[in-house]
Amino acid sequence: MKVSIIGGTGDQGLGLALRFAMSGEDVIIGSRDIKKAENAVDVIKNMLGKEEIDNLTPMTNPDAAAVGDIVVLTVPLQAQMVTLKSIKDEVEGKIFVDATVPLETCLGGKPTRYVDLWEGSAVERSAEFLKDQNVKVVSAFNNISAASLTNIPEDVQCDCLISGDDPEAKKAVMELAEKIPGVKSIDCGALENARIVEKITAMLINLNIRNKVKLAGIRITGL
């Protein structure tokens, strides 16, 4: 299973690439700029204290999208649409995971506030844009902080809330998420439920700021 991280040089993408590479997945780090992707691979090698990692490859975003079985988008909201346009033709028929969160920072505002999107959520915006590509769109990884992903060797103390309308694609992403030590996947039902999940990120950032920490996360109890 090849996992491509589009925007893999940002904090969240780099953290996911790190954890998936550690779990033995074939990971492709995508970036607009191949040099940035190569640099991200070097950063991860450095974090792991390894000279070589044979399951981690740098590519441009379109090349990364073309080779991935699961394509994960991890960009700020203001870069979501331009990035989608650059990979649209490459994701036909694939599992596409959107981790975008609609934070007010996209408008020069606060990371503790969300913005309302016409489609309801950032992932539904992707789904609308890709609706003619036969893409199986899944929402995941929104609430897991970059800081906890890069906080190796500690487990991640956060559940992964996953929404999507294609049961098989959702199952594949739930299995992928649980390759991160400490993460439990929670099936949140239809894609539209990401409207709630994406907003939780703003609350967790708020709790991080209020408590001067970086690892705030959530667990679902009682299931």
**Where do contacts with a second copy occur on this chain (CB under 8 A)?**
112-114, 116, 148, 157-158, 161, 186-189, 192-193, 195-197, 199-200, 202-204, 206-207, 210-211, 213-223
Q: Are 72 and 6 in contact (CB under 8 A)?
A: yes
Q: Would you say 60 or 143 has its CB closer to a second copy?
A: 143
Of the candidates 94, 144, 103, the one whose C-alpha atom is nearest the C-alpha of residue 121 is 103
Comparison of 50 and 210: residue with beta carbon closer to a second copy: 210
169 Cβ neighbours under 8 A, 6+ residues apart? 95, 136, 137, 138
> Using alpha carbons only, what angle is made at residue 46 by residues 174 and 79, rounded to the nearest 5 degrees?
55
**Residue nearer to a second copy on the CB measure, 69 or 119:** 119
Cβ distance to a second copy smaller for residue 47 or 209: 209
Distance CA 130, CA 37 (A): 25
Q: Smallest distance, Å, CB 154 to a second copy?
A: 10
Q: What is the dihedral of CA 131, 77, 119, 208, to 10 degrees?
A: 130
Nearest distance, CB of residue 189 and a second copy, angstroms: 6
Nearer to a second copy, 82 or 107 (CB): 107
Question: Cβ 219 to a second copy, closest distance in Å?
Answer: 4
Shortest spacing between CB 122 and a second copy, in angstroms = 15
CB within 8 Å of 5: residues ≥ 6 apart: 13, 14, 16, 17, 20, 27, 28, 29, 30, 64, 72, 74
Residue among 65 and 156 whose Cβ is closer to a second copy? 156
Report, in Å, the least distance between residue 42 CB and a second copy.
28
CA distance 54 to 66: 19
Are the C-beta atoms of residues 83 and 52 closer than 8 Å to each other?
no
Minimal distance, residue 86 CB to a second copy, in Å: 31
Residue with tokens 């204290």: 49
